[in-house]
Structure 1
Amino acid sequence: MNLIILLLPIIAIVLMFRSQKKRQQQMQQMQTALEPGAGVRTIGGLYAQVKAVNEETVELEIAPGVVSHFTKSAIAAVLDPQEYDAIINGRPADDELPEPEADVEAEPADEKPLSLAKEGAEKGEAEGGAPTSK
């Protein structure tokens, strides 16, 4: 019984270190995969395009002609080109495009058009008493 009480915290600590190490490895792989032209999101939520990758920093174009320097650790995610384009230009991704609607049949011509006049109103007068155009 005492052995179980001692082993549980040790196992929990090992699992925490293991998951932290995995996250660090994933972050390092992403940072080494940075290349000019890629769209990224920073940890602050800024979307930008990579212009240059230096030893410890990254040059990001945050607006046309505006380049800022960020540390590599400030990059939260490298985005797919379609996802980056959809976010920056407001275009839906290909899988989010609305499906074309089927052709709706035209209404028959024999139906009466809508009018502002009430059924019982006198001819030539609309609901408010103003004359209707002919």
Structure 2
Amino acid sequence: MFLMTRSAKKKQQQAMEMRNQMQPGTGVRTIGGMYATVKEVGDDTVLLEVAPGVHAVYAKNAVGAVLDDEEYNRIVHGDTGSDTDGDPESDLPAVPDDASSLTEPAADADAKPDLTKKADADDAPKDGKADGETDAK
């Protein structure tokens, strides 16, 4: 029991020290996973720039990690710095600039579904029930 309490206190102390290292210009990740740059540090709060010109006030304990400049730039801006390992995959940005990588190209760009076509009467079920619907008796 004593070891578990000691371990928890040690983790809290490390987290507090990490948050005290924050200074303007430092990159951080919040516990919600948002990346931002520190603008001002108060006693219990921190002013974060979440996008250029967009500022938000957060509680200090909402900061999950203080990042070094290299890691922050790699994650947020896709900067890889100098390529020392020769791996071409490491030259790719960590985060895509747009969602183009999430969509698949259409097989035929000219073939589009006709969304204006109305359903034919022949397509409707004859018994007035939807497909798979049965009489419950």
Instruction: Specify if TM > 0.5.
Output: yes
* Identity level (%): 48
Identify the match of residue 42 of structure 2 among 24, 37, 54.
Answer: 54
Identify the match of residue 38 of structure 1 among 4, 23, 26.
Answer: 26
Unaligned 5+ segments in structure 2 are 89-137
| Aligned mates of 2:84, 2:57 — CA distance in 1 | 35
Which residue matches 2:6? 18
Give the letter aligned to residue 30 of structure 1: M
Any idea what the Cα deviations from partners look like across 1:64-113, whole Å, max 9, x if unmatched?
0000000000001000101000111112254x655189xxxxxxxxxxxx
Relative distance call for 1:100 and 1:43 in structure 2 (3 A) is closer
Which residue matches 1:71? 59
Which residue matches 2:100? none
| Cα pair 1:57 1:69 within 8 Å, conserved | yes
Q: What TM-score results when the alignment is normalised by the length of structure 2? A: 0.60
| Cα pair 1:38 1:81 within 8 Å, conserved | yes
Based on CA coordinates, which of the two structures has the bigger radius of gyration?
1
Matched, 1:29 2:25: no
| Cα pair 1:83 1:93 within 8 Å, conserved | no
| Cα pair 1:35 1:52 within 8 Å, conserved | yes
